[in-house]
Structure 1
Amino acid sequence: MPLHPQRTIDDLKALRELTGDEQGAQRVAFTDTWLAARAFLKERLDALPVEQRQDAAGNWWATMPGDSERVLVIGGHLDSVPNGGWLDGCLNVLAGVEVLRRISEQYGGRPPVTLKLVDWADEEGARFGRSLYGSSAAGGNIDIAEMRKLRDKDGVGLEDALARVGVTLADAPQARKELEGAAAYLELHIEQGPVLEGLGLPLGAVLGTVGVERHTVTFHGQAAHSGSTPMNLRRDAFRAAGQLAQEIYTIAERHGGVCTIGRCTTLPGIVTSVVETCELTLDQRHLDAGKLAAMWQDAQDAARRFAEEGGCTASFGDLWYIEPIPFHPELIDAAEASVREVSGTAHRLPSGPLHDAAEVARSGVPTVMLFVQSLRGISHNRIEDTLEEHLVQSVEALDRLTDRAIAWVLAQPGA
C-alpha cells in the first residue's frame, strides 16, 4: 500500500507555521502553544481508526487495535525548547502518523498487532529542568516528591502546570500501565550531531544511548598577591584546572568517549589574586559502562597528579549519573536493514543525547531508534534543518522498520 512521506513534510511545515515564530519553535511543554500542537496532532489522528486518550502523566496515546494484543509502540514528542528547531521531536510523531495511515489502508484498520503512537509529555525538560518526564512516568522512573519541587523561571510549579492540562501529578505513576503488553518500541529522530553528515550518509541505526557521569572537580590552592608572588612559588588552583582541561581530551580519545568541562568557577575571583579555589563541572559519556567508569577514574587520577605538582589538593563531588542503555540487538539489525533498503548503505552509531527511547528501554521494552542526518549537526536552534530528500527517506525507513518489527513481535514465543 502507498506511503506518502510528503504528507509528513507538509504536516511538519504546517506545524512550524502554527507553533513557531521568527526565533524558532515555541512548543514548550504545557504552554498554550504546546496545546495547539497537541490539537494539531489530534486533528490528523481523527482521520484514522484509532482510540485517542491522555494518560495519567499527560502523554497522548493513539491506539489502533490489532488481531494480537501484543503492542508495537512508535513514539516521539511535540514539545520543544524555546526558540527550537522545526524537526526535533515532532518528526518522530508525524512520521508515525504517516506510518499508521499506510498500515490502516493496508490492513483495513485492523493490523496484525496492536499499534500505539505516543506523544511523550515534556521530553525536553526546558521549562522545569527535568527531561523525559512523560516517558519516565510510563517507565516507572519518577519521584513525585522531587517533581513537586520543580518551578519554571516564572515560579510556576510543575504540579500547577500539569493541573492546567488536566493532569494530577500524584497520579503520574499510573502511566506505567500504558506500556503493559508493549513488545517493541520504535523512535525516529534527527541526529542532532555531525556524524552522519560527516560520513555523507542520510540515515543511521542507533546502538543505544550513552551513559553519563557528571561530577565536580575542585582544586584547592592558596590565594596570594598577583604582583608579588613569584611564579614558581604559586599554589595556583586554576593552573591545575587548566591542565585537567587539556587532559580530558586525551582521556576521551583513549577510551573512545567524550568529555566536557562546562563550567569553571574561581575564588576569590579578582584580578589581583592567585586563584585559591577552582571548581570545574565534568561531563563524561560512553556507551560502554566499564569504559565510562575508567574515564572517571582517569580524570580523578589526573586531577590529583596536577594538583600535587602545583602544591594544591583536589576533591570531587557527584552531580548525576545514568547508565548506558543499549538497544535491542535484533531490532538494531532490523533498523540497519531498513536503512540499507532505503539509502543503499547503513551505519550504526550511539546517541549522545538522551531520548524517550532510553526510558522505555530501561523499563524492559525492546527498543531501537533511527537517526536522520542533521545539517551542520545543529539542533535546539532555529537553524536546525535536514534535507527534504533525507526526511522522505527517514519516513520510508521507519515504515519498513515498522513492518519488520511487526513480524518480529509475531515471531516471539507466546505470540
Structure 2
Amino acid sequence: MTLDPQRTIQELKALRDLTGDDQGAQRVAFTDRWVAARQFLKERLDQLPVEQHMDPAGNYWATLKGDSERELLIGGHLDSVPNGGWLDGCLNVLAGLEVLRRFNEQYGGRPPVTLRLVDWADEEGARFGRSLYGSSAASGHLDVQEVAKLRDRDGIPLSDALTQIGVTLADAPHARAELRNAAAYLELHIEQGPVLERLDLPLGAVLGTVGVERHTITFHGQAAHSGSTPMDVRRDAFLAAGRLAQETYTIAQRHGGVCTIGSVKTLPGIVTSVVETCELTLDQRHLDADRLAAMWQDAQDAARRFADDGGCTVDFGYLWNIEPIPFHPELIEATDASILEVTERSHRLPSGPLHDAAEVARAGVPTVMLFVQSLRGISHNKIEDTREEHIALSVQALDRLADKAVAWIQGQ
C-alpha cells in the first residue's frame, strides 16, 4: 500500500470542521466535542482489523496484532485547549492512523511486531489544570488522591467528568498494564515554536523534553500613601519584583534556558498605595538538570538581592517540577535518518512544552519525538498552522521511522 499523507490532511480538516468553530478547536477533554472526536477516530479504525478499547484511565487504544507480542506504540491526543489550533495533538493521532493503515495492508493484517495507536486522555489539562493525565496514569505517575481534588471552573470534579465517559478515577492507575509489552514509542507533533521556521526546515528530531522548575516568589514591603511618600524612602515590593523580571532574561541567556514570569499579584492593589506585597509565578525550563538547578538558584539569589536593596523581604513557594527527560539515543538517530529520507536537512532540538512522550519515557519505554514546523511558532491559538506540504512530509517521516523502529525492536 502506498502511504497517503493527503488523506491525513483531509481527515485533519474534517475533524476541524466537526469539532471547531470560528474561534478555533474546541475539543476540551471529556466534553461533547471531544467525545465526537473520539467517535470520528473510531469510525476510521473500524475499517481496520484492530482491537479497540478504552483503558481504565480513559486512554483509547487500537491494536494491530503482530507476529511478536512486543509492541511499537504511536501516540497523540485528540483533546485541545479552548480556542486551540487545528493540528495540536490530533496530527499525531491521525498520522499514526495512516501508518497503521499502511502496515496493515503491507503485511496482510499481521506485521512483524504488534502496532498500537493510542489517543491519550486529557494531555492539555485545559479543563482541570492537570496536564498529561492519561499518560501519567499509564506511566505510574498519577496521584489519584491529588487529582481527585481537581474541579473545573463550573465546580465539576474530575471524577464526575470521568464517570460521564465510563471511567472510575480510582481505577486509573490500572492503565499501567497497557505499557507492559511496549518496546518503543513514537510521537509526531507540531513544534509549537519558531526554531524550525527560522532555520527554514520542515522537520526536526527531538532530543527530549526539558525539565521544569515552577515556583512562587513573594516580595514583602510596606504599604504607604502614593501621594505623601517620597520615592527614596519607599519599600516598594513591586520595584523589587520588576527588577527580578528583567533579571530573568539575563539568567535565561546565561544558561541557555528559558524563564517566564507568568502572573503578578499585588496587595493592597489600589492606585493610591505603594505595593506592600507582590507575588510572582516563575517558570524555568532547561534540557540539562544542572543548568536548570543553577537557573533557579540564580533567581533566588537575585530576588534576595533586589529585596535587600529596596528594604523588602522575600520568600519562595514551590509549585511543581519535573526533571529533564532525554529521549532514546538510537531512536533519535533513526528519526534523523527518517527525516533525511524525505527532505534534505534535519535539525535536533529539545521540546520546551511537555508531551505525553515524556511520561512514556519516564516509564522506561524507549521513546522519541518528531517535530514538524509551525508557522510563526504559534500554537494554542486559532491561527496555529503548518504548511500542507510539511504535514505530508511529517507523515512520510513518521512512516519511515515506524519501519526503522520495528527493525530496531526485532534486533533487540
Give TM class, smaller chain: over 0.9
* Partner residue, 2:13: 13
Distance 2:351 2:382 in 1: 21
CA distance in 2, matches of 1:146, 1:6: 43
1:225 and 1:165 mapped to 2: Cα distance?
55
Q: Does 2:378 match 1:378?
A: yes
Amino acid at match of 2:353: P
Structure 2 match to 1:316 = 316
Matched with 1:126 is 126
Work out the CA distance in 2 between the residues paired with 1:162 and 1:211. Answer: 29
The one-letter amino acid paired with 2:270 is: I
Partner residue in 2 for 1:333: 333
1:57 matched to 2:57? The reply is: yes
Question: 1:218 offset after TM fit, Å?
Answer: 1.3
Shift of 1:224: 2.0
Q: Which residue of 2 aligns with 1:361?
A: 361
Match of 1:158 in 2: 158
For each residue in 1:105-131, what CA deviation from the matched residue of structure 2 results, as whole angstroms up to 9, or x when unmatched? Answer: 111111111110001111111111111
Shift of 1:271: 1.8
- Alpha-carbon distance between aligned partners in 2 of 1:84 and 1:279, rounded to the nearest angstrom: 29
Q: What's the CA shift for 1:229? A: 2.2
Q: CA deviation at 1:171?
A: 0.9
* Distance of 2:228 and 2:280 partners within structure 1: 27
Q: Which portions of structure 1, spanning 4 or more consecutive aligned residues, are displaced by more than 3 angstroms?
A: none
Deviations 1:204-249 (Å, cap 9, x if unpaired)?
1111111111111111222222222222222211111111111000
Pairing 1:46–2:39 present: no
Counterpart of 2:109 in structure 1 is 109
Q: Counterpart in 1 of 2:307?
A: 307
Determine if the alignment matches structure 1 residue 180 to structure 2 residue 180.
Answer: yes
Distance in 1 (CA, whole Å) between partners of 2:17 and 2:226 is: 56
Q: Identify the residue that residue 256 of structure 1 maps to in structure 2.
A: 256
Structure 1: any 5+ residue segments left out of the alignment? none
Q: Which residue of 1 aligns with 2:32?
A: 32
Following superposition, the deviation at residue 145 of structure 1 comes to 1.4
Taking the aligned partners of 2:2 and 2:119, their CA distance within structure 1 comes to 24
Q: Partners of 2:26 and 2:237 in 1: how far apart?
A: 42
Q: CA deviation at 1:181?
A: 0.9
Structure 1 counterpart SS, 2:167:
coil
DSSP-derived class of the 2:80 partner: coil
Following TM superposition, by how much is the alpha carbon of 1:275 offset from its aligned partner in structure 2, in angstroms? 1.6
Alpha-carbon distance in structure 2 between the residues aligned to 1:390 and 1:65: 31
Which residue of structure 2 lines up, in the alignment, with residue 229 of structure 1? 229
Shift in Å, 1:156? 1.6
SS at match of 2:70: strand
RMSD (Å) for aligned C-alpha atoms: 1.0
- Whichever residue aligns with residue 91 of structure 2, its letter is L
Match of 1:95 in 2: 95
State the TM-score, normalizing by the size of structure 2: 0.98
Deviation at 1:367, TM superposition (A): 0.4
- State the Cα deviation string for residues 252-308 of structure 1 (Å, max 9, x = none): 000000001111112222222222221111110001110000000000111111111
Corresponding letter in the other structure for 1:119: D
Deviation for aligned residue 1:410: 0.8
The percentage of counterpart residues that share the same residue type is 80
Structure 2 unaligned blocks of 5 or more: none
**TM-score w.r.t. length of structure 1:** 0.98
Q: Which moved more, 1:147-156 or 1:395-404?
A: 147-156
Deviation at 1:54, TM superposition (A): 0.8
Query: Bigger CA drift: 287-296 or 39-48?
Result: 39-48
| In structure 1, distance between residues paired with 2:351 and 2:199 | 16
Q: Any idea what SS the aligned residue of 2:175 has? A: helix
